[in-house]
Amino acid sequence: MSKLNPRQQEAVNYISGPLLVLAGAGSGKTSVITRKIAYLIQQCGISARHIVAVTFTNKAAREMKERVTALLRGAEGHGLTVSTFHNLGLNIIRREHSLLGYKPGFSIFDDSDVKSLLTDIMQKEYAGDDGADEIKNLISQWKNDLILPDEALAQARGTKEQTAAIVYSHYQRTLKAYNAVDFDDLILQPVKLFQNHPDVLDKWRNRIRYMLVDEYQDTNASQYLLVKLLVKERAQFTVVGDDDQSIYAWRGARPENLMQLKEDFPSLKVIMLEQNYRSTGRILKCANTLISNNPHEFVKELWSDMGFGDEIRVIRCRNEDAEAERIALEILTEHLRSQRPYSDFAILYRGNYQAKIMELKLQVHKIPYRLSGGTSFFGRQEVKDLMSYFRLLVNPDDDNAFLRVINVPRREIGSTTLEKLSTYATERQVSLYEASAEIGLSEHLGPRYTERLSRFKHYMDKLRQRCFSDDPILALKDMIIDIDYENWIRQNSSSEKACEFRMGNVWFLIDALKNTLERDEAGDMTIEEAIAKLVLRDMLERQEEDEDGAEGVQMMTLHASKGLEFPSVYIMGMEEEILPHRSSIETDTIEEERRLAYVGITRARRNLTFTFASKRKQYGETIECTPSRFLDELPSEDLQWEGLEEAPVEVKAARGNSALADIRAMLKK
DNA sequence: CCTCCATATATTTTT
DNA sequence: TATATGGAGG
């Protein structure tokens, strides 16, 4: 454990009021938070069970918990809560579900569930499904801003918003009927609960006496309100954030919450952490210069004592192919020459689509790599199928899950049968599952079909019983064999190898569930909870990580790189329309793109390289590219340009300041 | 119910 | 240009 610097120490020791820590990139904010938790417990006599630390990702929460545990002895940390916002919300809803009108075992709808439900609603009610994505975003925005369906309808402007508001109210009713919540509800519902039931809020306030919030600049309106409600009056909290690393505004994050804090808590103390323990001086100089182009409320200037370091390179390439080739070759030679492991290198890009060529080039040169992001594990068919089975088991009202699994594998229940079942269920005001075995159904359907439906229901009923009385994991394993899921997968796979892989995912999921149940310290985790955790991606990433010891070049989007660090960083596609993304140029919101570039730069410990292509194939046609304006904003004396061979002789001679202008002039021709 | 061809469509995504 | 989705037809 390293010593804290005076500012960090101050942040740890200040407990007499609300505190905002503006922690620059690499300034050791996690140390501050973890040390502070230990301090609160060991020096201030606050019991761990009264402390709550919130993060945005499971990974951050896990890491934090591990580091705190290392600082504590024995049972000191018992009852400490370190969780994500969503997990905290989930726990609140679970404890108070009846007040909110949910039954135990409620489902959590992920993005794809939400989308399919919305398309369904729109098709049924409004004949047409154009812009389901847009409507989904609008609804999500409303929820993040704590706007309920009625209010949304009242304030909707234009036909699109009005339709969205109507769909919203319909959607919310349907979710309730399905006994389900979506991700946004995990925050919104607790806030509503606290607003409407002061007694319940008091109970939670008494439970949470000190609160710490990480990545505060990423909180949205409802998350902030949740924090505010919980800490009120007592105002015992520490929030840590960095306005310069706010890159999720498009997702509802409100970096202005940092300012808001000052107004809501006049006694707020602000501490800035500017010493960086990660990068060379030159990299930080670059980062500082770039970000100074953004308007600022608080001005930070990162510095470090890690030496000035190498020049920052900017490499111009003929096209996107040459760009990827160049990066691959550089990493290869650097790895061979200096014996540095591949995991020292990271390749960052703006959009996932850029990863493809890069991946190809790395493969050609047999360079191992790890790609994060892209199609998620949860997007896979077999995972969705299985998750739907799990969900239906703990929540029979989940029609979405029912529809997904009813014909997986084939049970000869076609669309006509389901339509009739659905009409009947709506009429009777019960779930599809419930309706499947009701006597009255036979008036609408022939015996053959009612038989098939009721057989399914009875099978699931029996399974549910086993899950709750017996060993649930064993029951689920048996289920997979019972329904001959492997055969179903085989039929739907292109090759035997693909089938094996997919069955691997199935057993992996079961394993994750098993571990979740076993690793629970309190030992009282139910399958409902375990399944909910699975939907929240919790307990899954953990296994993924320790599976493949992380050897290989790291490839990820700039967004995904936040919070990480690498000795050598390559940022590719430094071009107008890519790094300041086209739409952000159009909507005049390049500040966030600049922060994105800033995040990328500050990931690098020692070496930083930018690349860009002068020509690029896009949607079938070749287009000329202009180097990113952000390159212009960097201190030119610290940049070393390469790849200007094709440039006119005089340009070749004139490096530095005028180089970029010359390339521009040349590209114009 | 499944397969194939035409057509549209092209950011970032912690949960 | 590549990929995903949906409709038509077997």
DSSP secondary structure of A262-287: HHH-TT-EEEEE-B-SSS-HHHHHHH
Give the mean model confidence (pLDDT) for residues A50-72.
94
d(CA A95, CA A193): 12
Q: Give yes or no: A486 in active site.
A: no
d(CA A94, CA A88): 10
Give the mean model confidence (pLDDT) for residues A563-579.
95
The integer distance in angstroms from the CA atom of A171 to the C1' atom of B9 is 27
d(CA A194, CA A12): 30
Structure tokens at A327: 């990066």
**Does the CB of A619 fall within 7 Å of any strand C atom?**
yes
Please tell me the predicted confidence (pLDDT) of residue A411.
81
Using the C1' atom of nucleotide B11, identify the protein residue whose alpha carbon is closest: A351
The answer, yes or no, to whether residue A129 has pLDDT greater than 60, is no
* DSSP letter (8 states) at residue A90: H
Q: Mapping DSSP to helix (H, G, I), strand (E, B) and coil, where does residue A373 land?
A: coil
Q: Which residues pair with A530 in a beta bridge?
A: none
Higher pLDDT, A181 or A659: A181
Please tell me the predicted confidence (pLDDT) of residue A651.
38
The answer, yes or no, to whether residue A142 has pLDDT greater than 60, is yes
Of A521, A523, A504, nearest to A512 by C-alpha is A504
Least confident of A161-165, A335-339, A366-370, A491-495: A491-495
| CB-based contact A506:A528 (threshold 8 Å) | no
Q: Give yes or no: A305 in active site.
A: no
From A350, A603, A605, A629, active-site residue: A603
Q: Mapping DSSP to helix (H, G, I), strand (E, B) and coil, where does residue A557 land?
A: strand
Question: According to the annotation, is A23 in a ligand binding site?
Answer: yes
The overall average pLDDT reported for chain A is 88
Find the DSSP H helices in A295-376. Answer: 320-338, 355-364
The answer, yes or no, to whether residue A494 has pLDDT greater than 70, is no
Give A663's pLDDT tier (boundaries 50, 70, 90): very low
Question: According to the annotation, is A28 in a ligand binding site?
Answer: yes
The answer, yes or no, to whether residue A437 has pLDDT greater than 80, is yes
pLDDT in tens, A339-368: 999 999 999 999 998 998 999 899 999 999
**Does the CB of A130 fall within 7 Å of any strand C atom?**
no
Give A667's pLDDT tier (boundaries 50, 70, 90): very low
Q: Give yes or no: A603 in active site.
A: yes
Q: Which residues in A412-432 are b (16+ Cβ under 10 Å) and which e?
A: ebeeebbebbeebbeeeebbb
A242: left (phi over 0), alpha (psi -120 to 50) or beta: beta
Least confident of A188-197, A381-390, A623-632: A381-390
pLDDT in tens, A7-51: 999 999 999 999 999 999 999 999 999 999 999 999 999 999 999
pTM: 0.89
Question: According to the annotation, is A26 in a ligand binding site?
Answer: yes
The answer, yes or no, to whether residue A199 has pLDDT greater than 80, is yes
Question: According to the annotation, is A440 in a ligand binding site?
Answer: no
The integer distance in angstroms from the CA atom of A410 to the C1' atom of B2 is 13
Of A393, A321, A383, nearest to A357 by C-alpha is A321
Using the C1' atom of nucleotide C2, identify the protein residue whose alpha carbon is closest: A619
Structure tokens at A447: 């015996």
Using the C1' atom of nucleotide B14, identify the protein residue whose alpha carbon is closest: A57
Find the DSSP H helices in A2-96. Answer: 6-13, 29-42, 58-71, 85-95
Task: List the nucleotides on chain B closer than 7 A to a protein CB.
Answer: 1-2, 10-15
Q: Which residues in A341-360 are b (16+ Cβ under 10 Å) and which e?
A: ebbbbbbbbbebebbebbbe
The answer, yes or no, to whether residue A539 has pLDDT greater than 60, is yes
Q: Give yes or no: A448 in active site.
A: no
Q: Give yes or no: A214 in active site.
A: yes
| CB-based contact A626:A575 (threshold 8 Å) | yes
| CB-based contact A64:A29 (threshold 8 Å) | no
The integer distance in angstroms from the CA atom of A231 to the C1' atom of B1 is 57
Query: Which nucleotide is at minimal CA–C1' distance from A619?
Result: C1
Q: Give yes or no: A30 in active site.
A: yes
- DSSP assignment of A31-43: HHHHHHHHHHHHT
The integer distance in angstroms from the CA atom of A185 to the C1' atom of C4 is 30
Give A549's pLDDT tier (boundaries 50, 70, 90): low
pLDDT in tens, A96-106: 999 999 999 99
* DSSP letter (8 states) at residue A5: P
The answer, yes or no, to whether residue A107 has pLDDT greater than 70, is yes
CB-neighbour burial class of residue A589 (10 A; exposed 0-12, middle 13-18, buried 19+)? middle
